[in-house]
């Protein structure tokens, strides 16, 4: 998303404390700057209000923003970043920025104190020659990195999982990296009970492991891996290629690109956190999207932490729901979309 210069009153008013501190620490650098924001469009709008000439935004949770690659940083003089919790994700960001920008670029990265560690400083100093640390304010702090070093851009991680017999690839910051998380293993263990399908979607595909398994079990089916995250889309494509599987990989906000009543099967391992807080809102929204896209009689297979008790919500949102798998931590359910009333 490249923003034109325009006035936006109180653009920073709704920002988190860490984002406001980032803006304040970058205040002298913003006038006339070419800015890349890795975070939210709101932070980009606030940067424009404070004098930036060009702002490009990449938000991994917003499919309308620009992909995070080297072209994003062309001519950039300032990068504003929300610090990720994962050190591997931060290392990926830092390596990409250092490898893609000129020597005068400045990175201003902010986060909440409770999520910040000394390891973040160490990661940045592997990629930049100078690091300054701000004073804390409103339980937030900012790291300011300068003098990018000559580093290699980040590479995809690739690993073979012998239990599922699949190659898994992962870009930096993708959930579980190139390993197979235990929820996904629980889902695959239940796949012996899958119904027939001609079209299936791995909804929120992450590294694309479930999509790969669906395609491997039904080579003639059309399998779609869909995720809002650009890193997940890149990872899913890599996993499909590594296993020589023909999978359609799309970046999508929800399932907005999929027609109503068009799919036989959707598999879903939904998130249950928003930031650091427990939240089922994303899962509930995904259930609704799945119902819309399933044909009558089609099934949504969901794996979830058993303590969340999603069965009632799945019955109300999608239709009759039965348990098809369970281990000490996870439950796998199949919900059948009822015929339209």
Helix axes 230-242, 209-217, angle to 10 degrees: 40
Superfamily name and number for 2-148: Vaccinia Virus protein VP39 (3.40.50.150)
Rounded CA separation 7/47 (Å) = 11
Q: Give the count of beta carbons closer than 10 Å to the beta carbon of residue 102.
A: 11
To the question of domain 157-336 being in CATH 3.40.50.2000, the answer is no
Rounded CA separation 221/209 (Å) = 16
Instruction: Output the DSSP codes for 249-271.
Output: EEE-STTTTSPTT-EEEEEE---
Structure tokens of 92?
Answer: 């990926």
Domain coordinates of the chain in residue numbers?
A: 2-148, 157-336
Same fold, 2-148 and 157-336: yes
Instruction: Output the DSSP codes for 93-137.
Output: HHHHHHHHS-TT-EEEEEEEGGG--HHHHHHHHTTEEEEEEPPPB
Give the pLDDT of the chain (341 residues) as one tens digit per residue: 444 433 343 344 568 999 999 999 999 999 999 999 998 889 999 999 999 999 999 988 888 888 888 899 999 999 999 998 888 889 989 999 999 999 999 999 999 999 999 999 999 999 999 999 999 999 999 999 999 999 988 888 899 999 999 999 988 666 667 789 899 999 999 999 999 999 999 999 999 999 999 999 999 999 999 999 888 999 999 999 999 999 999 999 899 999 999 999 999 998 764 444 445 788 999 999 999 999 999 999 999 999 888 999 999 999 999 999 998 899 999 999 987 64
Smallest CA-to-CA distance from 306 within 285, 271, 284, 332 is with: 332
pTM of the entire structure? 0.80
């Amino acid at each position: 998303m490249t923003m034109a210069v325009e006035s936006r009153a109180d653009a920073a008013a709704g920002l988190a404390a860490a984002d406001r501190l980032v803006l304040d620490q970058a205040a002298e650098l913003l006038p006339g700057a070419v800015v890349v924001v890795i975070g939210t469009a709101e932070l980009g709008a606030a940067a424009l209000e404070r004098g930036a000439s060009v702002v490009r935004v990449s938000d991994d949770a917003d499919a309308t923003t620009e992909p995070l690659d080297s072209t994003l940083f062309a001519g950039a003089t300032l990068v504003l970043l929300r610090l990720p919790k994962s050190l591997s994700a931060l290392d990926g960001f830092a390596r990409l920025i250092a490898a893609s920008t000129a020597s005068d670029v400045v990175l201003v990265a902010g986060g909440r104190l409770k999520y910040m560690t000394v390891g973040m400083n160490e990661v940045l100093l592997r990629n930049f020659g100078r690091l300054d640390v701000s004073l804390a304010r409103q339980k937030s702090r900012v790291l300011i990195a300068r003098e990018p070093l000559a580093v290699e851009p980040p590479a995809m991680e690739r690993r073979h999982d012998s239990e599922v017999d699949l190659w898994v690839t992962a870009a930096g910051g993708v959930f579980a990296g190139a390993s197979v998380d235990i929820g996904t293993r629980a889902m695959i263990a239940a796949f012996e009970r899958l119904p027939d399908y001609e079209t299936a979607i791995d909804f929120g595909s992450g590294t694309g492991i479930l999509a790969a398994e669906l395609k491997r079990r039904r080579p003639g089916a059309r399998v779609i891996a869909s995720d809002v995250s650009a890193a997940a889309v890149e990872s899913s494509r890599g996993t499909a290629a590594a296993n020589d599987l023909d999978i359609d990989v799309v970046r999508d906000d929800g399932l907005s690109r999929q027609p109503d009543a068009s799919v036989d099967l959707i598999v879903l391992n939904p998130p249950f956190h928003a930031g650091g807080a427990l939240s089922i809102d994303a899962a509930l929204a995904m259930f609704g999207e799945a119902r819309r896209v399933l044909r009558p009689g089609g099934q949504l297979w969901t794996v979830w932490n058993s303590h969340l008790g999603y069965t009632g919500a799945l019955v109300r949102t999608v239709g009759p729901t039965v348990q098809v798998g369970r281990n000490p931590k996870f439950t796998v359910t199949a919900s059948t979309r009822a015929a339209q009333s």
